[in-house]
Chains A and B, each alone.
Chain A
Amino acid sequence: DQQVKQNSPSLSVQEGRISILNCDYTNSMFDYFLWYKKYPAEGPTFLISISSIKDKNEDGRFTVFLNKSAKHLSLHIVPSQPGDSAVYFCAVSTSGTYKYIFGTGTRLKVLA
């Protein structure tokens, strides 16, 4: 009964190309969505977020897309760089609450 799913455990992309990471959620009450990046032996680092009133949010090379009808969000990284190699977690929340629910993560490897 996972509420947040990241169905791809790993992804390899060539440097300079686009990386697309996907996340699906089950509960339409979620209205705040985030992506975190995690390097080994470090805590998750906040990357980008989006609220349900928007369908796109961009920050430099990172863009998050939200499709509320499909209960799906994705993270696009363009162009991908070797330093982007990490595990990426999506997290969801309901506004006014504080509890994040995380997916299981996708390990991205950017090949030089």
Chain B
Amino acid sequence: GAGVSQTPSNKVTEKGKYVELRCDPISGHTALYWYRQSLGQGPEFLIYFQGTGAADDSGLPNDRFFAVRPEGSVSTLKIQRTERGDSAVYLCASSLIGGGETQYFGPGTRLLVL
């Protein structure tokens, strides 16, 4: 079956611009997660959705970052006024229910802010 998909695979933007990153989870998975992986680091948690609602957004670094999941399936991570420090690989994962079972990751979106 299809895994988690993310688009675009690569995104280059200029400092100050707005970007949207999309995640399509595994069909039937109600839980969706966003992580960010900087060079030489492991993935760091950003936000967790259970259904349509953000159950925990404590990992979002500041209010320039926002994520939505309006229909409980596809999610979009939105970054306003991008900064060079936002450059990273943004990973999306999904799991069947949420609350401890295995998370399955997509290939990530590599964001480069010039």
Report Cα–Cα, A95/B98, bound state, in Å: 10
B31 contacts A98, CB within 8 Å?
yes
8 Å CB interface, A80-112 against B: 89, 91, 93, 95-105
Whole-angstrom distance between the Cβ of B102 and the nearest chain A Cβ: 5
Task: Report A-chain residues with C-beta under 8 Å of the C-beta of B33.
Answer: 98
Give how many A-B residue pairs fall within 8 Å (CB-CB). 61
A96 contacts B99, CB within 8 Å?
yes
8 Å CB interface, A8-66 against B: 32, 34, 36, 41-46, 49
A98 contacts B99, CB within 8 Å?
yes
B102 contacts A102, CB within 8 Å?
no
Interface positions of B (Cβ within 8 A of A): 4, 6, 31, 33, 35, 40-45, 48, 55-56, 59, 91, 93, 95, 98-100, 102-108
List, sorted by A's number, 28 A–B pairs whose CB atoms are closer than 8 Å: A34-B102, A41-B107, A42-B108, A43-B6, A43-B91, A43-B93, A43-B106, A43-B107, A44-B91, A45-B105, A89-B42, A91-B42, A93-B100, A97-B100, A98-B31, A98-B33, A98-B56, A98-B99, A98-B100, A98-B103, A99-B56, A99-B59, A100-B103, A103-B42, A104-B40, A104-B42, A105-B41, A105-B42
